[in-house]
């Protein structure tokens, strides 16, 4: 890690910290709501980080060589916004005045893609620090792509995090922090704001553990910094701890920093009220007197202070220019790696990469989880940026890259350990896996996936939702998708999960019907570069004979006519995943009765809805009101597609411990029941 010469701390820096505290109080007071206390007490911490430690270029916020900063306690967004203002990222004083108001650049919680300098959307506590683990993992994996021999420090940078008591109380952070220790992520530096206050008051009503001991047990370096006698942050001691953290590249580091919330507000400091409420005009005036500021002034930002703080622009520009010069030299000496990096920065895929995807024969059945495993390994041969794993279920959901090596630190004694390995062992930590995938996606260059059983998507929902909010290409692989799980019983048989996941805006739920649909689904997920969940079967499924039925290319449109009727359809049968086979069989039975049925495979309703009106009408003509949906889950969401005359063959209760074939038959997932439903729908439509 390149050492940085830190400028001498001056009276203007002290004044900048005081101004930062006052701006936090004023911004919340103006809008009438928010979280002033933490932003006030953390002002010296954030200022020290942005001015003296963080490797960044405010005028080039996407600089590849930059450190990343994650404000895990997103409710304290002013902690970040004020430093972005002072550092010259483009935020203005008016933006701070517009805090938490409509269309402002300073929303209540930091939003990725909305405000320059914001690396990640945070708010749900624990998610930021967990995704920071993903960023740190991504940084190491990328190092392996471009500089596995360690000949340059171009690809070495830190992930800095500010986290709160609330972050460390959430189980998500514990899952991720445990894995970070195992991975020995020396590029991860967390400053823990130990102010012992939350909304309900003293955190000791529920949180009395020794956090330092816990993190040491995880395998982290831990440095403790006490507050000064007057309650203020001991900034000098903090800086010494940050220097130690910067030098500690063997393990992740936690700096446990004692602070007093809302310091130096005379009455509000150390109180839960200051956590989530405006301080009031009188208290703010008294605070400004404590800070040596004029109590009559609001949104104070003296030119000399701003100019001093924005010298970081010059330092950042010099650092990035030096990096770019060194990078140019490296690129000449490493043309293959440089070409790869250029492609990844452009978010491009190699020309013709999709030709490597396997094509499956219809002569034998194969579970879509097994087909996905073969597709994953084919993709891995072409895309070095492609890596991933599962929550201890690699053999079950087929997420292992053969001969990929286990992503583990160089000190690991485990078989196959490789610091740049392609197989991520997340452990039984579904929520952390989701958040880590988000962090990897946000880091920007590689494509990672993580797998578990669909029923455990419940444990991941917060992370999946954040991926959708941020519109990042996190890929979730969920196998064992229905009562087809069989004997494991209702605890492992998803029923409501497909509908629940489809309810998440901007998230694609992809449930392929066979092996070839699975291959095209993977192609589309990687090409679209959007958040998606791939839903796969445990049990073997027929591979559709594409010489008789339509091409699996239809997956790209979300839903397509798999097999049309001989004439105008009397009824449309719409199915997903393992239930498509029942629609196909029912079509033949209906034809024997003189009923014309169209079979539609609908692997991704979201992609279908994004298509043109004309295409959707061609697949589901509005005059044909007789429709049947067939899916082994609750029917919620299908009414929109099948209409008032439609019949949904669904599962409106939990499953049981029995063989898959027995359960499908008992619950009505048979060709005969599809026929009955089709006739019923036709009758409704004729009224």
Name the residues annotated as catalytic: 430
- 8 Å CB contact between 478 and 457: yes
DSSP state for residue 49 in the 8-state scheme: I
Q: Which long-range contacts (CB under 8 A, 24 or more apart) does 235-243 make?
A: 235/17, 235/44, 235/48, 238/44, 238/45, 238/48, 238/191, 239/48, 239/52, 242/48, 242/49, 242/52, 242/53, 242/189, 242/191
Q: Report the DSSP beta bridge partners of residue 160.
A: 69, 189
The answer to whether residues 555 and 520 touch, using CB atoms and an 8 Å cutoff, is yes
Q: Within its chain, how far is the Cα of 575 from the centroid? A: 29
Per DSSP, 188 falls in state E
- Residue 32: how many CB atoms within 10 A of its CB? 9
Q: How far apart are CA 439 and CA 430, in angstroms?
A: 14
Tell me if 159 sits within 8 A of 188, measured CB to CB. Answer: yes
SS3 452: strand
> 389: closest CA among 379, 377, 402, 400?
400
- The residues, any chain, with a CB within 8 Å of residue 257's CB and separated by 6 or more, are 45, 191, 192, 193, 194, 225, 233, 238, 241
Q: Please, is 331 exposed, middle or buried when counting C-beta atoms within 10 Å of its C-beta (0-12, 13-18, 19+)?
A: middle
Alpha carbon distance 180, 251 (integer Å): 8
The one-character DSSP state at 577 is G
């Amino acid at each position: 890690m390149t050492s940085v010469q830190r400028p001498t701390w001056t009276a203007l820096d002290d004044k900048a910290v005081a101004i930062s505290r006052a701006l936090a109080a004023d911004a919340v007071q103006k809008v009438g709501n928010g979280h002033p206390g933490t932003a006030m007490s953390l002002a010296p911490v954030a200022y020290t980080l942005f001015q003296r430690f963080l490797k960044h270029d405010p005028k080039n916020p996407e600089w590849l060589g930059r450190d990343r900063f994650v404000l895990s306690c997103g409710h304290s967004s002013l902690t970040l916004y004020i430093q972005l203002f002072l550092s010259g990222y483009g935020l203005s004083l008016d933006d701070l005045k517009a805090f938490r108001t409509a269309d402002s650049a300073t929303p209540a919680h930091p939003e990725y893609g909305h405000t320059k300098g914001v690396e990640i959307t945070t708010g749900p506590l624990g998610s930021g620090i967990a995704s920071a683990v993903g960023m740190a993992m991504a940084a190491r994996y990328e190092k392996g792509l471009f500089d596995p021999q360690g000949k340059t420090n171009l690809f070495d940078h830190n992930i800095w995090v500010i986290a709160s008591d609330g972050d460390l109380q959430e189980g998500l952070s514990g899952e991720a922090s445990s894995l970070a220790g195992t991975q020995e992520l020396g590029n991860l530096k967390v400053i823990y704001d130990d102010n012992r206050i939350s909304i309900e008051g003293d955190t000791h009503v529920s949180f009395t553990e020794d956090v330092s001991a816990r993190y040491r047990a995880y395998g982290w370096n831990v440095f403790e910094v006490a507050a000064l006698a007057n309650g203020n942050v001991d900034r000098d001691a903090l800086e010494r701890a940050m220097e130690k953290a910067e030098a500690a590249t063997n393990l992740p580091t936690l700096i446990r920093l004692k602070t007093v919330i809302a310091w130096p507000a005379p009455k509000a400091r150390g109180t839960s009220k200051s956590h989530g409420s405006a301080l009031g005009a009188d208290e703010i005036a008294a605070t400004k007197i404590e800070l040596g500021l004029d109590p009559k002034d609001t949104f104070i930002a003296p030119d000399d202070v701003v100019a001093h703080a924005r010298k970081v622009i010059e330092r950042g520009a010099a650092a990035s220019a030096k990096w770019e010069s060194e990078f140019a030299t490296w690129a000449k000496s490493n043309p293959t790696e440089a070409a790869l990096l250029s492609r990844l920065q452009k978010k491009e895929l190699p020309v013709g990469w999709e030709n490597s995807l396997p094509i499956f024969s219809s002569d034998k059945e194969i579970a879509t989880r097994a087909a996905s495993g073969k597709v994953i390994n084919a993709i891995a041969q072409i895309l070095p940026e492609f890596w991933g794993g599962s929550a201890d279920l690699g053999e079950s959901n087929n997420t292992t890259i053969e001969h990929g090596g286990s992503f583990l630190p160089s000190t690991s004694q485990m078989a196959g350990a490789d610091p740049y390995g392609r197989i991520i062992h997340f452990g039984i930590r579904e929520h952390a896996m989701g958040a880590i995938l988000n962090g990897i996606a946000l880091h920007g260059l590689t494509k990672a996936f993580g797998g578990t059983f669909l029923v455990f998507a419940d444990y991941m929902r917060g992370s999946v939702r954040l991926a959708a909010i941020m519109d990042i290409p996190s890929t979730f692989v969920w196998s064992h998708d229905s009562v087809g799980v069989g004997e494991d019983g209702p605890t492992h048989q998803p029923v409501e999960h497909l509908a629940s996941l489809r309810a998440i805006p901007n998230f694609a739920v992809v449930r392929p019907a066979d092996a070839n649909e699975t291959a095209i689904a993977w192609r589309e997920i990687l090409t679209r570069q959007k958040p998606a969940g791939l839903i796969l079967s445990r049990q073997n499924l027929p591979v559709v004979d594409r010489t008789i039925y339509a091409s699996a290319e239809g997956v790209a449109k979300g839903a397509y006519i798999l097999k049309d009727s001989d004439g105008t359809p009397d009824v449309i049968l719409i199915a997903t995943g393992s239930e498509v086979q029942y629609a196909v069989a029912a079509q033949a039975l209906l034809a024997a009765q003189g009923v014309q049925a169209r079979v539609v495979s609908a692997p991704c309703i979201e992609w279908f809805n994004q298509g043109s009106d004309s295409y959707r009408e061609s697949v589901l003509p509005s005059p044909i009101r007789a429709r049947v949906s067939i899916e082994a889950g609750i029917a919620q969401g299908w009414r929109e597609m099948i209409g008032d005359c439609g019949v949904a063959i669904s599962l409106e209760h939990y499953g049981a411990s029995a063989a898959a074939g027995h359960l499908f038959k008992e619950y009505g997932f048979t060709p005969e029941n599809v026929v009955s439903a089709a006739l019923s729908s036709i009758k409704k439509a004729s009224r």
